[in-house]
Structure formats: structure tokens, C-alpha cells
Chain A
Amino acid sequence: MLLRAFIPLGVFAAIGLVLWSGIGKNPQLLPSALLGKPAPAFAAKALHAPETEITSASLLGKPYLLNVFGSWCVSCRVEHPLLMEVERRGEITLVGLNWNDTREDATRWLAQFGDPYSQIIFDADGRIAIDFGVTGAPESFVISAEGRVLHKFVGPLTEDDIENKVKPLLAGQAL
């Protein structure tokens, strides 16, 4: 029995394992490159009050959920009622990042659908979104009181996300 002749079978077994490990996973899911790292520093104007500046430093001290949205974003409307509810319950601080938008469109959109955000950063040129590694909207980041990125959600938030992921993280527990 020549052991060498089993090499092809061995190689195939390895390939099979690799293939099996990939089943059920979503190959398009891209985890955030910023996990565990400090959120990128930024300084931008607020949406509603163009003279006021919001900096990353000014947001330290309290954990919050940074939500990337835009008036052009269809999926954002899907999660918006949930965000309104979260704001009503008052358990989580929501900070909005208005991306790729104009002041008029965004203000109009919020007036129409409601404004759940305690503050809204107006990302005029999209650089803040790039710094956060945003690939589309809606996306949400859980940021700790010390300013670290704890988690990133891609796509509309669900009730399950809020209850079972965001709240435990903000309470200081690991996921």
C-alpha cells in the first residue's frame, strides 16, 4: 500500500473541509476594521444648527449609537420607526450621521418621518463616513463612553439587534 497514492485524497479532504467551513456564512459580510479601536476623530457642523460644531471629543463620556442615514436611502425608512421607538424609550442615545445629503433634503426628510437623534452630524463631503469605514446606508456603530467602536451593524436595525446586541454592549458586557 503506497502511502504516496493517498496524497490526492488527503488534498481533497482538506479542500472539502475548507468548503464545508464556508457553507451558511455570508461572504459579503464585512466586519468593521475599527472594532475595539478608538472611533476616528472628527469635527463637523451639526445638521440643524450650521454654526454649531460637533466633535468626537464632545461626544465622549457617554456611550451612544451612531446611525448613518440619508434622505435618499430607501432602507433607512425601514428602520426609522424602530429608531423613533428607541428614542421614545430613552434608553439609548442616538447620534445621526447624515451622509451624502443636502441640508434641505435631510431636514425635510426628518420633518416628515421624525427625528430620533439627540444630535446630527452633517457629513458634507463624506470624509467622516469613509473614516468610519461606511460602505452604504443604513449602518450603525455602537460607541463606548471612552470613544471605542464596539460593534458595527450593516443594514436596517432590528428589535433583536437593539435588545440582544446594543443594550448588552452599552451595559458594559461583552456580546
Chain B
Amino acid sequence: MVTRRQLLKNTAVGFGSVALAGLMGQGTANAEEPNLLQRQPHFPAKAKRIIFLFMHGGPSQIDTFDYKPQLAKDDNKPVPFDKPRVVSAPTGNLLKSPFKFKQHGESGMWVSEIFPHIAKHVDELTFVKSVHGSNSRHGAALLELHTGSDTFIRPSMGSWLGYGLGNENQNLPCYVTICPSLTHGGGNNWSSAFLPALYAGTPIGNAGTASENAKIPFIKGTTPTAIQELEQRMLRDINLKHLTTTGPDSELESRIKSFELAFRLQTEAPELQDISDETADTLNMYGINNGPTKDFGLQCLMARRFAEAGVRFIQLSHSYKWDQHGNLAGGHRSNAMEVDQPIAALLTDLSQRGLLEDTILWWGGEFGRTPVSQGGRDGRDHNPHACTMFFAGGGMKPGIQHGLTDEYGYYAVEDKVHFHDLHATLLHQMGLDHTKLTYRYAGRDFRLTDVHGEVIHDILS
């Protein structure tokens, strides 16, 4: 077979993105037609993009960042108040954290010993300890977190952003999700639902794929690039001749353009995923050369590269490992090890490149876990009533914590923040009023936050 290299060497046809770009300039996007051109926000934005580090399975707030000394004192006693009305499984008595906590930074944030790297960055982080959702099941909670609804099919948050703001880069999708799980709602978590398909998340691999093998669908074929260049030129000729027989038709013209965009995407996306131009220091910093941190480290590095390239919403998934109904001590420790160094590296890297200023880094899972035990006193059940998330950059107030849980971390009790409030706040930072970002479908104006959501001004600087 002909290899790409051979053809590149032997073909004298200088046809590539430069030549294709000529056609692209013609015509302007039809205002009615969904497009990724950048749009004015409702008001000046503090952030241009979001990187969501999704910890699928539900990390335990009380073993990570929500330090509860009283829980250790009352270990193995019954919880002195009512457990929730709806629970996913029977649970036992209070269970202290198997991990040690220490205060860090000038802000004196408490961090569990399993996050030694993130602990060094606490002064850059905004902790929200009173996050809560409504549903105690993975599937429903994932959908609620991603789309605002645990009942219906709704557009994902990333899709709303693409719809509202377009994309900084016209050659790339506005919303990518790296190695997402196909379970617990799967594609519904990144679908555009009734918004135009253009705004749907582009999955790069799935949770069943190692991140080094994660690719955009159809991004690479078997045809050598040089032959493909010939094909593109021939196709353009044929299509342009066809256009002379049909008369003006914006759809036919868009389709001609779409091939040129595809050709550039095909070049640009793999280049973004090709990390051979990164220094050894960078790779080491993200832990890409090391077993446990390799997979998520690579995801984090890709996130930086997509952010740099101008993608609006980038989601990473540390997939479905945090569901410690049992083996809490071992499981949470190894999970944390896999993400701790990469996340810290991403923070450092974004910060050094000046990207953190207008990028929101967002860490969290679909719910927290119960302070009471499950599975032989080394596990915890799902708990949608309290979980901790943290944010960095993009105009979030650094070095603070917001909201409180009760003395055991079971329920958020003060300054409670529902997923709807989070969505409202994140849209706000992106310059969008969540009550005004609407889309008319089936006779109704829909919003990401439905009829809920309040911007949490306390966590914004």
C-alpha cells in the first residue's frame, strides 16, 4: 500500500489548507443557520472557557476536602438525625475518614492527605462545600449535573455555551468531552438535545478507551493525505460545476465549505492530540511518564491544548472509579493518586501560560458520599445532599470556601448551592444571563436552569 509519507514525498501537488482557505472566505454565514461564529455575551465575560474535571462515581467530600473532626469523634455511633427520605441502599453508623487532614496555604484550607499536590494550590482554589443535587442515582445525577434535568432529555451545559457564545476556533468543535462514560445517561450527557447538532459535545474516545487512543469519530481514514488533497480538489470542481446548474443555493455552498473545514479539522485535531512537541519536563509534570497518572495526566494535557486552541467547553472524565461502596480507604487513595498530580500540573501550566485568568477549572463529581458506612465499614453510599466541588481561575474568588455542611458532612446546611445555581454561576462568568439564554422548542422557551438557579456572587471576585 501507499503510505502517507511516500505520497507526501512523491507528489508534487501543493494543495492543502492554504489553497482550500480561498473558498472559505466567500459568502457569510446565514444568520438563521446554526454556526460557531463568536457571539457577543450578554455582558462582559470574566471567563472564555471551562475545563470540567469530572470525577465519575461520586468522590467523598468528607474524605477529600470537607474536614469533619466531629465525625472521627463519633465514629461508629448512629447518626443523631434522620437519614434522607429516599436512599439508594441501607447504611450503617457514622464512619470516620481513614485519611489524615492538614491545613494548607495562607487560606488554611483543610485537605486530605490523598491530595498532596492539589494541597499546594489551595490558595488559588475556590471551594464550594454545600453543593447538592436532587437524585441519589448515578444516571439521574449525571444527567442533572450535565443538563439540569434528571427527568427529561435536555441540552448539555457545554451545548448551551456553544449556542450562546459560538467558538473561538472555527476549525474545532465548541465542546469536546474526553473519554466520557457511555453509561449513566451516556451520550445524553453531552447531547445538544433540541439545540442544533452543531452544539453537541464531540466525544473523543470513551471511558472504555485509554486516553492515548481516544480519537474524534472519522478523524482519520486510510486514504493518504496527498491523495485526499487530490480528492478534495476534484470534489470542489465537481460541486462548483454542479452549482452552476442549480443556481444559488446556500445549503449546497455550505456543504462545499464543510469539506474544507473537515480537512482543516482533520489536520488540526490530531495535531492537538499529538504531544510530541511537549518537553520532557511538561510530560513529567503531568505524570504522563508514570503508570497511575499517565491516563488522566494525558487528559489534562490535552485539556490545556484544546483550551489554548480556543475550544469553549472541555470535559475530562476520571471514569466511574469513585464509587466506593466498599474499599473506601484503598479506592479513594488510588483514585486521588491518579488525578492529584495531573490536576496540579494543569493548574500550574494554565497559570504559567496566562490561560488561567480566563479559564474556569471546575472539579467535582455527580454527588458526595454518606458519612455513614456501607459494606463492612470501609465504604460509603451515594449522597446527593452534600458534595464538595472546587474551582480555579476565570474570575472565581481564590482561597475561599463557601457553604457549610452539618458536623458530619451529611447535608449541606448553609449557603446551599444546587446544581442549578452552579450552572447559573458558570454561565454568568461566561458573560451569559441564565434567564436570558433561551431556546424555543415544542412551544416553550427552554433554559439550562429551567425555572431555577441563582448566581452565587459570594464566590466571584
Task: Report if A and B associate in a common complex.
Answer: no
Interface residues of chain A, those whose CB is within 8 Å of chain B, are none
Interface residues of chain B, those whose CB is within 8 Å of chain A, are none
